[in-house]
Structure 1
Amino acid sequence: MVEAPRPRNRRGDPIDPIPFLVTTGLAFTVVFSFGPIYGLAYGLSLRSALALSGAAFAGATALAYRQLVRSAPALDAGPLPPGPRVERLFYGAVGLGVVLVALTLPLL
């Protein structure tokens, strides 16, 4: 059986692709679940709402690729120290809170 080549970070080290695939899958689900509905609520046509959702998904995918593939540490680099991990978790929680608040704006 032939094994598929692993994605590589900017230093050429192989990385685990699963975090990127999960993140882009979740981004697709959220963007295309909420995007067209909220686009229509703001008065956009369905075509425009879908195009804007597609652009948002492309942006989220590019950001995830930059963070989770290009900037990823090598598989054998070991775990991150606790300080940066807690900081990432905090910023992720703040970002999720902002997104959830933004999703309620058309309902006001």
Structure 2
Amino acid sequence: MHLRNRHGSTVDPVPFVVVVGLSFMVLLSFGPLYGQALGLSLEIAIAASAALFAVATVAAFYRQVWTFRPEAVGAVPSAVRAERLFHLIPILAALIVALAVPLVVG
């Protein structure tokens, strides 16, 4: 897969594919459950989850491909990137627990 940004430069597709895959997994796994917990029918909940997935895909493409600047790759030191990653770990763990609440309560 060869992705290009708005300036025609080649962009690594891996971050985009990972974000889209994770959003597909989360939105279409938990979305219908939350939709039904809120009183929606299964068909509407799946359609809403698919629509949110489409929005997430467009946003990820815009952020990680279309506006990506290859010349800025080395601008952020690796120590800062690692620190950000370690700050995200508890946030993601809390998000997974929060997503599982309707499965436990309902």
TM-score (norm 1): 0.71
For 1:34-65, what per-residue CA distance to the aligned partner results, in whole angstroms no more than 9, with x for missing partners?
01111111110011000110011011111111
Gaps of 5+ in 2: none
1:9 aligns to 2:19 (yes or no) = no
Residues 83 and 16 of structure 1, relative CA distance in 2, 3 Å threshold: same
The answer on 1:53 being equivalent to 2:46 is: no
The Cα shift of 1:91 comes to 8.4
Q: Which residue of 2 aligns with 1:74?
A: 70
Quote the residue 1:23 is aligned against. Answer: 19
1:44 to 32, 40, 47: 40
| Structure 2 Cα separation of the partners of residues 59 and 90 of structure 1 | 27
SS at match of 1:78: helix
Q: Which runs of 4+ in 1 moved over 6 A?
A: none
- Structure number with the higher helix fraction is 2
Superposition CA RMSD, Å: 2.9
**Structure 1 stretch displaced more, 29-38 or 74-83:** 74-83
SS in structure 2 of the partner of residue 47 of structure 1: helix
What letter matches 1:57 in structure 2? F
User: How many residue pairs get matched?
Assistant: 104
How far does residue 97 in structure 1 lie from its aligned partner after superposition?
7.1
Q: Which amino acid aligns with 1:16?
A: D
Q: Quote the residue 2:99 is aligned against.
A: 103
Gaps of 5+ in 1: none
The TM-score, its normalising length taken from structure 2, stands at 0.72
